Amino acid sequence: MILVPGTTDLVQLEAIWRGSGPVSLDPSARAGIAASADLVAAAAAGDAPVYGVNTGFGKLASVRIPAVDTARLQRNLILSHCCGVGPAADARLVRLMMALKLLSLGRGASGVRWEICALLEGMLAAGVAPVVPLQGSVGASGDLAPLAHMTAAMIGEGAAEIGGTRMPGAEALRAAGLEPVVLGPKEGLALINGTQFSTALALAALFKARRLVRAAAVTASMSTDAIMGSTAPLDPAIHALRGHRGQIDVAAAMRALMQGSAIRESHREDDARVQDPYCIRCQAQVTGAALELLRQAAATLTVEANAVTDNPLVLVETGEIRSGGNFHAEPVAFAADQIALAVAEIGAIAQRRVALMVDPTLSHDLPPFLTPEPGLNSGLMIAEVTTAALMSENKHLANPCATDSTPTSANQEDHVSMAAHGARRLHRMMRNLSTILGVEAICAAQGIEARAPLTTSPPLQAALEVLRAQVAPLAEDRYLADDLEAAAGLVRSDALAAAAGVELEL
């Protein structure tokens, strides 16, 4: 994977996150990197104070550092900032974070030498993943603690994983045939100042959400067929009159999924029901609005992935080194909150469809709790309760994080974004949603099969068969936890959506 700084897209970023191959900067980036490094070297040799080059950091910025202590200053910065706590980020997330830092440095405005970028490339190629605790960042001045743990491995400190084995940072570099770097002026600051940890967390969640929204279109269509719901609300004229792109796209996807359903054709006439409940009738409006939020977040995170977010910045064109605030992760925090809202609402309406299918007063003659012999068997009664628990948990988690600022660093950093845990909580929400949708798929499959000899559409039948390869029909009560996890796994892997041929993208 060769990255051109400033132009990397979501497809490339997802491939980096899911893959394991080398990642490198396009050679065209080297000239800008060298020019900015030269400016920093000149500043370090001069008499004028330049933040982070020959001064202390944060509240200590007024303390002048002699040139002889430059390397020690940068090393001390890294070691003192390795204050992350909690479980470690998985290697895929760290890999994405490292690639994002490489992209940022590649813009040629951070003042690092090429050797820094080359080491990041070497670590990515060899599969060296620094051990990075998930907690400790408030999202300004960038993700200081997580990125310090990344940088610690680069200087031969801290810890890293290689081949799934954790070892000291220096040992991991040695195993990969790499040498620790001695940080020059500003290089430690350039490496730990930035939003790459928060952005990596948010991007990884977005990649998961993309699969889940596609699966939601499938499970929603299956549920509609299971309760013999109407497809009239999917009429393109209805959605064109409102005009929201996400709504139009979800309605189109559902029409395609339900095309050719004998179940649907069987009740077009002489159906006493006039309108379905909102969880059936308003699916395109709700899931479409969520899709729009995900698309907005995707646009924000694409910009952020290509951004320079350390401080100070080296402006090669004017020969200046300027302090600013690009490290503040407010855009990432807002994007994470948008994703959280979207995920919570996709799950909320899906849970109502599950409740609809297990309720014999609302499911249009499906057996109670979707079991052939209710009473002796409880069927999917408690599976529905589980979806209610997960839906409620996600609604709680969807409360905004970006509004919860607190001052830090002796009030120098007096407004922060909370982007890191705002993005981290998304992964718990994604797992919850995948289970809700998995349970919905199980319920809808039971409902569709209860309509035999009528059949569903070819796309939905293909999805149903993928499900049935792992989850057998529920004839009598059995241990269900494994079935729920298997169905959730099909949602997370994109298998259901791929089998049905869903065309729905961010």
Nearby residues of 385 by Cβ (< 8 Å), 6 or more positions away? none
**Residues paired with 55 in a beta bridge:** 64
H-run or E-run covering 166: strand 165-168
**Per-residue DSSP letter, 194:** S
Per the annotation, the verdict on 278 as an active-site residue is no
Whats the size of the chain, residue-wise? 506
Q: CA gyration radius for the chain?
A: 26
Asked if 459 and 219 count as a contact pair (C-beta separation under 8 A), the reply is: no
End-to-end Cα spacing for the chain: 22
Chain centroid offset of residue 447 CA: 32
Residue closest to 133 by CA, chosen among 176, 81, 173, 182:
81
Asked if 87 and 133 count as a contact pair (C-beta separation under 8 A), the reply is: yes
**Catalytic residue from among 12, 51, 249, 451:** 51
Burial class of 171 by CB neighbour count within 10 A (0 to 12, 13 to 18, 19+): middle
SS3 of the chain: helix, strand, coil, percent, to 5: 60, 5, 35
Q: Which amino acid is at 252?
A: A
Cis peptide before 28 (omega within 30 of 0): no
Secondary structure of residue 409 in the 3-state scheme: coil
Q: Which amino acid is at 320?
A: E
Interatomic CA distance for residues 454 and 460, integer angstroms: 13
Phi, psi of 161 (to 5 degrees): -110, 140
In which region does residue 411 sit, left (phi positive, over 0), alpha (psi from -120 to 50) or beta (all else)? left
Interatomic CA distance for residues 288 and 93, integer angstroms: 28
H-run or E-run covering 117: helix 114-126
Cα-Cα-Cα-Cα dihedral sign, residues 333, 339, 344, 345: positive
Interatomic CA distance for residues 103 and 120, integer angstroms: 10
Asked if 396 and 425 count as a contact pair (C-beta separation under 8 A), the reply is: no
Interatomic CA distance for residues 10 and 14, integer angstroms: 6
Residue closest to 475 by CA, chosen among 374, 382, 356:
374
Asked if 75 and 183 count as a contact pair (C-beta separation under 8 A), the reply is: yes
The catalytic residue positions are 51
